[in-house]
Amino acid sequence: MTPFVSVEGLSKTYTARSLLRRSRAATHAVRDVSFAIARNTIMGLAGESGSGKSTLARALVHLDPPSSGEVRVAGIPLARLGRRGLRKARRRMQIVFQDPHGALNPRLRIKYSLGEALANAGVPRRERRARAVELLRLVGLGPEHLDRYPRAFSGGQKQRIVIARALAGKPEFLILDEPVSSLDVSIQAQIINLLMDLKQRFGLTYLFISHDLSLVSYVSDSIGILQDGRLVEYGPAEQVLKQPRSEYTRALFDASPAMHRER
Amino acid sequence: MQGRTGDHACVLQVRDLHVTFKADGESAEALRGMNLDLRQGEIHGLVGESGAGKSVLLHTLLNLNRGASFVRTTGRVLYEERNLLELFEPEIRRIRGAEIAIVFQEPAKHLNPGLTIEEHIRDLLRYHLGVTRRPAGARTAELLELVELPLRVLRQYAFELSGGMQQRAMIALAIACNPRVLLADEPTTALDVTVQRQILELLLRLRAELGLSVLFVSHDLAVVREVADRVSVLYGGKLIENAENSALFDRALHPYTELLLRSVPSAAMRGRALNVIPGTVPDATAVPPGCAFHPRCPIAAERCAIELPELRAHHEDHSVACFFPGQLVEPAGRQG
Ligand SMILES: Nc1ncnc2c1ncn2[C@@H]1O[C@H](COP(=O)(O)OP(=O)(O)OP(=O)(O)O)[C@@H](O)[C@H]1O
Ligand SMILES: Nc1ncnc2c1ncn2[C@@H]1O[C@H](COP(=O)(O)OP(=O)(O)O)[C@@H](O)[C@H]1O
Ligand code: SF4
Ligand SMILES: [Mg+2]
Ligand SMILES: [Mg+2]
């Protein structure tokens, strides 16, 4: 079976001119990363802060062009697409970020935030309102929320709206970058269940990024662990959980506090 | 009875604490009759979701509530036979930082960027203990050793240190004057798991070596389970359950506690939907009447919306504020 998303030899290097040395200091944020995600499965990506998780996410969808390497989504190499082709392809893949507060324009009523996304997705104007209501319903909100501003919503509700917006273009692939880290424990469970439902319902494929190993263990079909930009562990979840190959993975699991200890 | 609960010596006792703020003209009761005993030498975990009142409680213990939105505090905070809330500022200042010290989630925000770590420690020792230069030097070195920081850190500024090192420096400052009580507000939340582990181990060691009593605030149930001897659960500005660690995690009595524990994802839950608590945590300006949890509680009865359940001992050493403790049925197939 060909994977839905495949990443080969992906690297991202940031260069910043150093004031003192007049030289260029390079940060190798992502180094030679390869993996593949089968359709309708979830790859979990974990690692400590600064390990390159968010950089990888942005490079993957070419929000920041990778320094090298190839990404294929549904068999199409993204690098070969022109700007217009890339914009079209991006409808099929969306990123949901950690902080729902920063993700919504505070001065736009929810209907306009959703309307904008629907317009980008090519939905004709007269259909947008109905589609917006449908999107809200998908995430457990109602039409009464359309006229409100973001400040009227709790963090969990905002994250639902952000997810609704990501679904506007009927994407097939979602990158979820710490989608519940800023939410309360009881609200996290609501959002995770919602994401799992949506995945089943629409046959979605996820790259699920989190520093929380218990959460990654729960959601993932396959798991990758990043350390200093390198994918030091990658394999089916069962295997990574039971017999991690890298010493680093073992250390991470041992250090992370768990409610239910199985090992 | 002051200073003891049952057979246990208490260092700090909170009685009927109410704290009121004003938010957009509305009155916000952040603490609504809080009672809590901190026993000698224990690590007391305080868990609750955002807005439950965890940080307000810690600030109130040290009489730190300030600002235009602060309205009033009532109740008692008993420490060494005295109500800390009745002390004048110069008196509480002698206790704050010296006998009761606090460690924050984000050390960088609480360290002065213009002072080296050594200057921080020296100022603190001079202020509280009147220690002069030379002995201060010896004590400073000793503190760094306790928190396992290299001596070079003394000449460094907070921003030059990693998150974990900043937190160690913050802890060194907190224990500098040999406090009896350490208040820790999410001390590891901003840290990576490996660093978090080191800080937790440091706290455990300091408790053992210095006999500290620690009030450990966290929203992370797994962290609290690992370090706390005793755990209290906060909801809507009140303490709703209190028990020894394993009793709380294995035999929770309050529906909120039980549901919260069940909502934590883990490898053991793979393939099954997580348990969910419907609705959201209450805002301090609009805490529901009766039991604050009743709009979200699956077993709420009529009286729950009207009467306020008080915290009382269900059995020895396990208190709960609920009319129907332990009556939430287990869902089929739940694993412990
Ligand atoms: N200065 C203030 N003015 C108005 N309301 C306040 C103030 N400080 C706290 N509150 C309110 O008091 C309640 C308790 O806040 P607190 O900061 O103690 O929560 P917490 O349990 O520490 O939450 P978190 O997990 O988010 O840190 C909240 O509803 C908060 O909005
Ligand atoms: N725009 C940027 N310019 C320079 N360095 C960056 C930039 N974005 C990220 N980095 C660096 O790349 C590394 C990985 O960062 P990031 O992907 O944000 O990590 P994570 O999401 O895993 O916490 C870090 O060293 C970070 O400082
Ligand atoms: S008092 Fe009533 S509403 Fe509150 S937790 Fe107990 S059963 Fe539920
Ligand atoms: Mg990130
Ligand atoms: Mg707080």
Q: Under an 8 A CB cutoff, do A255 and B196 touch?
A: yes
Q: Which atom of ligand 1 is nearest to the CA of B283?
A: 29
Distance (Å) from the C-alpha of residue A228 to the closest C-alpha of chain B? Answer: 14
How many Å apart are CA B131 and CA B121, to the nearest integer? Answer: 11
Question: In testing the pocket of ligand 2, which one of A15, A17, A27 has its CB within 8 Å of the most ligand atoms?
Answer: A27
Distance (Å) from the C-alpha of residue B140 to the closest C-alpha of chain A? Answer: 30
Mean pLDDT, residues B140-144 taken together: 91
* Domain assignment of residue A200, given as a range: 5-262
Question: In testing the pocket of ligand 1, which one of B24, B27, B55 has its CB within 8 Å of the most ligand atoms?
Answer: B55
Q: In this structure, which residues have their CB less than 5 angstroms from ion ligand 4?
A: A 54
How many Å apart are CA A28 and CA B19, to the nearest integer? Answer: 50
Per-chain mean pLDDT for chain B = 90
A219 contact B CB<8A: yes
Percent of chain A topping pLDDT 70? 95
Query: Which of 4-33 (A) contact B at CB < 8 A?
Result: none
Q: Under an 8 A CB cutoff, do B266 and A217 touch?
A: yes
In sequence order, what DSSP letters do the residues of A183-208 get, joined into one string? S-HHHHHHHHHHHHHHHHHHT-EEEE
Q: Which atom of ligand 2 is nearest to the CA of A14?
A: 4
Distance (Å) from the C-alpha of residue A79 to the closest C-alpha of chain B? Answer: 34
Q: Which residue of B has its CA nearest to A191?
A: B276
How many Å apart are CA A80 and CA A90, to the nearest integer? Answer: 14
CA dihedral B189, B194, B199, B201 (to 10 degrees): 130
User: Which of A157, A189, A259 is the closest to B274 by Cβ?
Assistant: A189
List % helix, strand, coil for chain B (3-state, nearest 5): 35, 25, 40
CA A221 from chain centre, in angstroms, equals 15
B60-77, pLDDT tens digit by residue? Answer: 999 988 888 899 999 999
- pLDDT given at position B60: 95
B12-43, pLDDT tens digit by residue? Answer: 999 999 999 998 788 999 999 999 999 999 99
Note whether B191 and B167 are within 8 A (CB). Answer: yes
- pLDDT given at position B2: 43
Strands (E), chain B: 4-5, 8-23, 26-39, 43-47, 70-79, 82-83, 100-103, 181-185, 213-218, 230-235, 238-244, 312-315, 318-320
Contacts for B72 with CB less than 8 Å, ≥ 6 apart: B18, B19, B20
Q: Which residue of B has its CA nearest to A50?
A: B192
Q: How many domains does chain A have?
A: 1
- pLDDT given at position A18: 57
B79-122, pLDDT tens digit by residue? Answer: 999 999 999 999 999 999 899 999 988 888 889 999 999 999 99
Chain B residues contacting A, CB < 8 Å? 49-50, 192-194, 196-197, 200, 219-223, 225-226, 249, 259-261, 263-270, 273-278, 280-281, 335
Per-chain mean pLDDT for chain A = 91
Mean pLDDT, residues B124-147 taken together: 83
Checking A165-168 for CB contacts under 8 A at 24+ apart, the result is A165/A113, A165/A114, A165/A117, A165/A135, A166/A94, A166/A95, A166/A96, A166/A117, A167/A94, A167/A135, A167/A138, A167/A139, A167/A198, A167/A202, A168/A114, A168/A117, A168/A118, A168/A120, A168/A121, A168/A123, A168/A131, A168/A135
A47-71, pLDDT tens digit by residue? Answer: 998 899 999 999 999 988 999 999 9
- At residue B8 the predicted structure's pLDDT band, cuts being 50, 70 and 90, is confident
Residue A25, pLDDT > 80, answer no
CATH number of the CATH domain containing A97: 3.40.50.300
Instruction: Show residues of chain A in contact with B280, CB under 8 Å.
Output: 154, 156-157, 187
